[in-house]
Chain A
Amino acid sequence: MLSRVASSIYWLNRYIERAENYARFMEVNLNLSLDLPRGTTEQWEPLVATTGDHERFTGRYGKATRETVIQFLLADATNSNSILSCLLAARENARTVREVISTEMWEQVNRFYLMVRDGVSKGLSSKTLHTFLTDVKANSHLFLGITDATMSHGEGWHFARLGRLLERADKTSRILDVKYFMLLPTVAEVGTPFDIIQWSALLKSASALEMYCKQHGRISPNTVAEFLILNPNFPRAIRYCLIKAEDSLHAIVGSESDRHSNLAEKRLGRLRSEMDYADMADILSAGLHEFFDDFQLKLNRTDDAIYETFFALRPVEGNMQKEKVQ
């Protein structure tokens, strides 16, 4: 597969997944805001902080309010990570690989883009916002389903899955961070009904409430965090994402699962095994936020390694001169 094509498929899927997760960010915050006690002001600034685009936001909007943050994360074409920008980028990437992906995949990306573009241009009120965010998630799921059902599960598909799962692992860590920023739980508040409501809102936003309840029943902060970080079977849990991403990486390279033959495999393998051997007590004692910072840094390095290993167009040692003399 062409390096450029592999890169486009990878990024196509990262952007779709990113758009979906930005919808989840907003949803979790909207849900949390609805449950805030009277008199408390809504907290939108933390949401921007978790995306890592804090400086850009402040430069452009100044104060973080519901309107400005939603505009920035959803509709701002100058924010390269807004949902609108993600869809534009996803579609541009899809256009460059139309001959590799199925017609159905292309048409879904196109419809998804048109839906977001039209939604943004019509303007979103608090009434329509929920439906819009739900539609973003549904369209992302539809794309994922169409990909699985219409694309050969070969190299291209594995690059797609690799991109999607690394993006998802990163964003799940950030959704958990929203809660962390939202309200540093004082010891007194932990376990209060209000705290429980917030954690279940968060589970909902990760589409994890039912699966969590099946496994744990009772909602407690530690088990929720554990579920979303360390569960090997829940598809939005960080560990699950890393396990499957690593499977895809091995499938691309053609290497055995316990070996590494390049930097990408080495870094991803190491990160995955850290998750295998981590437990919540360690994570909490180091601090949840610090844990996520460290995780996101390592994930970025893995992404760098993937770029270097598969996508970078290095100059090739050719020998035109010699050829001409002969």
Chain B
Amino acid sequence: MGIRFSHYDPEGFYDELYEEKGQPRPGSALLLRKFASLPEGELQKRQQAAERVILNMGMTFGVYGSADGHEQIFPFDIVPRIVSATDWEHIESGLRQRMRALNLFIDDVYHDQKILKNGVIPNDLIYSSKGFLQPCMGLHPPHGIWCHIAGIDLVRISDGRYYVLEDNMRCPSGVAYVLEARQVMKRTFPELFDAYRVRPVDGYPSQLLDTLRHLSDLPDPTVVILTPGIYNSAYYEHSLLAQKMGMELVEANDLVVVDGSVHMRTTKRLQRVDVIYRRINDDYLDPLAFRRDSVLGVPGLMESYKRGRVALANAPGTGVSDDKAIYAYIPKIINYYLAEEPILPNVPTYICSDTGDRTYVLEHLDQLVVKATNEAGGYGMMIGPHASKQERADCARRIEADPRNYIAQPTLALSRVPTLVEDHLEGRHVDLRPYVLYGREVYVLPGGMTRVALRKGSLVVNSSQGGGNKDTWVLS
């Protein structure tokens, strides 16, 4: 007698595995039958086994200020999220559309600014965006592509539709957890992979490598990953990708610009670098170009980039497209550049720099989620219904002091996935971050990072704030 699944209750939320209480969705019936047939305690044993695998793999994320090597083991739940082939087809086409439109948008912003001239987006919204970089005006990245690697956060709500929650067009992280979660699941439930036809995710590193090599005209370019170093919370991912792509993982100190070209310092000589997959923010790329006070970065890198001596992925300046206030205009952006309707809708968004919106937001703070326009990782976020009176008042003050820096969205009833809690399953809220690459064509990894808010009732899925991870199975 294993876990009693008849007790599991979606409680009115959209559940990714159940249509309603006692009624699994077609794609998950097999999984749930299998779970139900496991002997008492077996699921917990497998959960523990998975955690041991994760510990021995050293699969961690950095947390600042912890004494023990700065790391925490990534929390992982062994009940996967299952995405049907039809749903995935829809997601994939929506993401392709968005990736193309956003790249056209960025290119336009840094050249002719037709979209501003035509009055689709207010001028000052662009110029006040922290992600807009004046030094990038007029630059021509290879093939006109600015954002090569994106992670686009989707949520599904009670109506069963997927919405885009945010676009991460700068240095999206998390793909390593997608690759490793799958390894862990294969070790934990080999028999399920025999029974299911789950689309593999292992092709990502080679797709990424192709995308990066596409940035150079050379037959065999030297491609490196630039990391801030082991204290960065995503360092694990940087090294994993470097390992899987067989390229050097460099820190800024390893690079030097000599005679206008970027080189890395090796034990024997300086070696020319052609393409840099940089995982450091625009601000810290080059102290000569952006932050003169910064000791980080590679002096002269931007100049070399401008001259086309080295390619950067993503290109500096892509942050203008994932500014959370500009996000509200993305449906219009898609329409403007592609003359298409957005396949994946946006979440309704109130822009606090707009007087009418701001008034509404300030009056409905207890119902809304407020986000800083230029932050990621759940930082600077206020969830109205869960916040204290004091927190809401503080938030209101911050909005009034700097309205451009805030947007608000309705609190969404995120879909849930059954999650192992002690000896039984309970629904927990999830989101989904698929990964999109833009090289010769747009590629969408069939899978993604399903983040789960492990705390009961919580809507915050960020790993720094009590979130965990699940494997995402896209069925073929």
B253 touches A4 (CB 8 A): yes
Q: Per-residue 0/1 for B245-266: is the Cβ within 8 Å of any A Cβ (1 yes, 0 no)?
A: 0111111011011111001111
A311 to chain B: which residues have CB within 8 Å?
Answer: 267
A248 to chain B, nearest CB (A): 13
Contact B265 A107 (CB under 8 A): no
**A96, A103, A117, A313, most chain B CB atoms within 10 A:** A96
**At the interface, yes or no: B335 with Cβ under 8 Å from chain A?**
no
Stretch at the interface among A87-95, A198-206, A226-234, A290-298: A87-95
- Residues in B whose Cβ lies below 8 Å from that of A111: 56
* Contact status A95-B230, CB under 8 Å: yes
**Contact across chains for B259 and A1 when beta carbons are under 8 A apart:** no
Q: How many residues in B have their beta carbons less than 8 Å from beta carbons of A?
A: 36
Are A2 and B303 in touch, CB under 8 angstroms? Answer: no
Contacts of A316 in B (CB 8 A): 256, 258, 263, 265, 270
How distant is the Cα of A8 from the Cα of B56 in the complex, in angstroms? 21
Query: Which residue of B has the minimal Cβ distance to A114?
Result: B55
Nearest B residue to A319 by beta-carbon distance? B259
A96 and B230 form a contact (CB under 8 A): yes
B235-A2 in contact (CB<8A): no
Q: A313-B253, A318-B259, A324-B303 are in contact. Are A2 and B266 (CB under 8 A)?
A: yes
**Beta-carbon nearest neighbor of B248 in chain A:** A2
Closest B residue by C-beta to A8 = B230
Q: Which residues of chain A have C-beta atoms less than 8 A from B247's C-beta? A: 99
Check: A135 CB closer than 8 A to any chain B CB. no
Centre residue among A91, A117, A323 by max chain B CB count within 10 A: A323
Contacts of B56 in A (CB 8 A): 107, 110-111, 114
Contact with A along B219-251 (1 / 0, CB 8 A): 000000000011000010001101100111111
A5 at the interface (CB under 8 A from B): yes
Residues of B within 8 A of A98 (CB): 239-240, 242-243, 249
- Whether A92 lies near B69 (C-beta < 8 A) is yes
- B300 in the interface (beta carbon within 8 A): yes
Residue B421 at the chain A interface, CB threshold 8 Å? no
Residue of B69, B249, B256, B303 touching A99 (CB-CB under 8 A): B249
B160 in the interface, Cβ–Cβ < 8 Å?
A: no
A132 within 8 A of B: no
Is B58 located at the chain interface by the 8 A CB criterion?
A: yes
Which residues 1-56 of A sit at the B interface, judged by CB distance below 8 A? Answer: 1-6
**Interface status of B38 (Cβ within 8 A of chain A):** no
**What are the residues of chain A within 8 A of B251 when measuring CB–CB?**
4
CA distance A158 to B268 in the complex (A): 14
Query: Chain A 270-314 against B: per-residue CB contact (8 Å), 1 yes, 0 no?
Result: 000000000000000000000000000000000000000011010
With contacts A316-B256, A324-B303 taken as known, whether A2 is within 8 angstroms of B243 at the C-beta atoms is no
Which A residues from 49 to 94 make CB contacts under 8 A with B?
A: 88, 91-92
A320 at the interface (CB under 8 A from B): yes
Chain B residues within 8 Å of A100, by CB = 243
The answer to whether B260 touches A323, judged by C-beta atoms less than 8 angstroms apart, is yes
Q: Which residues of A contact B268 (CB under 8 A)?
A: 1
A117, B254: Cα distance in complex, Å? 32
Question: Given that A96-B230, A110-B58, A111-B56 are contacting pairs, would A1 and B266 also be in contact in the complex, using a CB cutoff of 8 Å?
Answer: yes
For residue B260, which residue of chain A has the nearest CB?
A323
**Majority SS at the chain A contact face:** helix
Determine if A99 and B242 form an interchain contact, defined as CB atoms under 8 angstroms apart.
Answer: yes
Q: Which residues of chain A have C-beta atoms less than 8 A from B239's C-beta? A: 95-96, 98-99
> Is the CB of A219 closer than 8 A to any CB of chain B?
no
* Chain B residues, CB < 8 A from A323: 259-260, 303
Q: Which residues of B contact A1 (CB under 8 A)?
A: 266-268
Q: A2-B250, A88-B69, A99-B239 are in contact. Are A318 and B58 (CB under 8 A)?
A: no
Cα distance A155–B362 in the bound complex, in angstroms: 62
Is B256 touching A2 in the complex (CB atoms < 8 A)?
Answer: no
Which residues of B are found within 8 Å of A313, using beta-carbon distances?
253-254, 265
CB distance from B236 to the nearest CB of A (A): 8
B338 interface hit (Cβ, 8 Å): no
Check if B57 is an interface residue, CB within 8 A of chain A.
yes
Which residue of chain A lies nearest to B265 when distances are taken between CB atoms in the complex? Answer: A3
CA distance A321 to B99 in the complex (A): 39
Residues of B within 8 A of A95 (CB): 58, 230, 235, 239
Closest Cβ neighbor of A93 among chain B residues: B230
| CA gap between A319 and B303 in the complex, in Å | 13
- Cα A319 to Cα B300 in complex, Å, equals 10
Q: Complex Cα distance A206/B219, Å?
A: 53
Q: List which B57-76 residues lie within 8 A (CB) of chain A.
A: 57-58, 68-69
The distance in angstroms between the C-alpha atoms of A107 and B52, with both chains bound, is: 12
Please state if A106 and B259 are interface contacts (CB–CB under 8 Å).
no
Alpha-carbon distance between A3 and B253 when the two chains are bound, in angstroms: 10
A19 to chain B, nearest CB (A): 16
B229: min CB distance to chain A, Å? 8
- In Å, the complex CA distance between A6 and B267 comes to 7
Partner of B266, one of A3, A92, A107: A3
| Complex CA distance for A4 and B68, rounded to whole angstroms | 23
**Which residues of the other chain, A, contact B256 by a CB distance below 8 angstroms?**
316, 318
> Considering the chains assembled together, what is the distance between the CA atoms of A148 and B264 in angstroms?
28
A interface, CB within 8 angstroms of B: 1-6, 88, 91-92, 95-96, 98-100, 103, 106-107, 110-111, 114, 117, 155, 252, 310-311, 313, 316-320, 322-324
Given contacts A1-B268, A2-B264, 16 further A-B contacts (CB under 8 A): A4-B265, A96-B230, A96-B239, A98-B239, A98-B249, A107-B57, A107-B58, A114-B56, A117-B68, A318-B257, A318-B300, A320-B257, A320-B260, A320-B299, A320-B300, A323-B303
- Residues of B at the A interface (CB closer than 8 Å) are 55-58, 68-69, 229-230, 235, 239-240, 242-243, 246-251, 253-254, 256-260, 263-268, 270, 299-300, 303
